[in-house]
Amino acid sequence: MSRILNIGAAQMGPIQPDESRASAVARLVAMMREAKGRGCDFVVFTELALTTFFPRYYEEDRAKMDHWFEREMPGPETRFLFETADELNIGFYLGYAELTPEGRHFNTAILVDGNGKITGKYRKIHLPGHADHDESRIVQHLEKRYFEPGDMGFPVYRQNDAIMGMLICNDRRWPEAYRVLTLQGADLVVLGYNTPDINTTGLYEPSYLRSYHNHLSMTANAYMNSCWVVGTAKAGVEDGCGLIGGSCIIQPSGEIVTQATTVEDELITFACDLDMAKLGKETIFNYAKHRRVEHYGRITSQTGVEIADQAAE
């Protein structure tokens, strides 16, 4: 019998800097209710789904940015979302900025089950951008200033009949991330993203490439790892800064089965047959039969240039 998981990707439109968490949570709850009404068992929200993308702002005193972070999850302003999940018996992925009791800062995502209980956590490993103010940039991208790299590796969780892994935004551009998850059996990878619609370094990049690379990163890795991929955007113009949309649900063949067409709050849904992952996992991407790590040669953390130079010696 096929394992059908009815999934919703709940794309968010912009969250302006002065929008309250209560307002953002109300928008998430509305899409959760819409997802339930459309038969969903699980809904994927986005990265930093409770606030504006605050790493675009430079603050000398990092402590002054702590108000963008959640000290507890659920907390007073987010409990409503968890209570609604319990009421509707629907699970979800939620991205947010985490401030731990020890004072550590992470770009975090959690899995929550249909009883409103947290069943899994992931902390973003690939932090793009920079740590200090970069005056050459059109817009700052200070994730390296405000977050530590994740310290949990890439865990997988059995939930809603799936083996589910989480990524966050820039992680989706790194093939290793999907491979580590699918080496653990993942047949579903869920992620949120906040992606500027221009190259904020000021280097020229045709803007259409932003959307092309977004889908390329996820579709190629869905195929090469034979897994479903759900990518959910925070989209639209936040404080004058554009973010791409393009939220989508991708089947293990690498084909997009549904995608968002706006840059607003928009729910897309699909009845995902998780067993579609079996074809690739049992044939072309059967790691046990065909993957030959022992023949890959020296794998080090060095960059290719260092290795090539050494080879030339």
Residues with active-site annotation: 47, 124, 169
CA-to-CA separations, 66 to 46, 98, 170, 173, in angstroms, rounded: 20, 9, 22, 28
- The footprint of ligand ING (CB under 6 A) covers 128, 169-170, 173, 193-195
Can you tell me the distance from the alpha carbon of 47 to that of 139, in angstroms, rounded to the nearest whole number? 19
Question: 163 with 190: CB under 8 angstroms?
Answer: no
Place of tokens 């509707």: 88
3-class SS of residue 32: helix
State phi, psi for 208 to the nearest 5 degrees.
Answer: -65, -25
Can you tell me the distance from the alpha carbon of 252 to that of 168, in angstroms, rounded to the nearest whole number? 19
Bond from prior residue into 74 cis (ω within 30 degrees of 0): yes
3-class SS of residue 9: strand
Q: What minimum distance in Å lies between the beta carbon of 114 and ligand ING?
A: 29
Pair of tokens at residue 282: 């049992």
Pair of tokens at residue 229: 């991929």
Question: 167 with 155: CB under 8 angstroms?
Answer: no
Taking the least distance from each CB to ligand ING, the nearer of 79 and 130 is 130
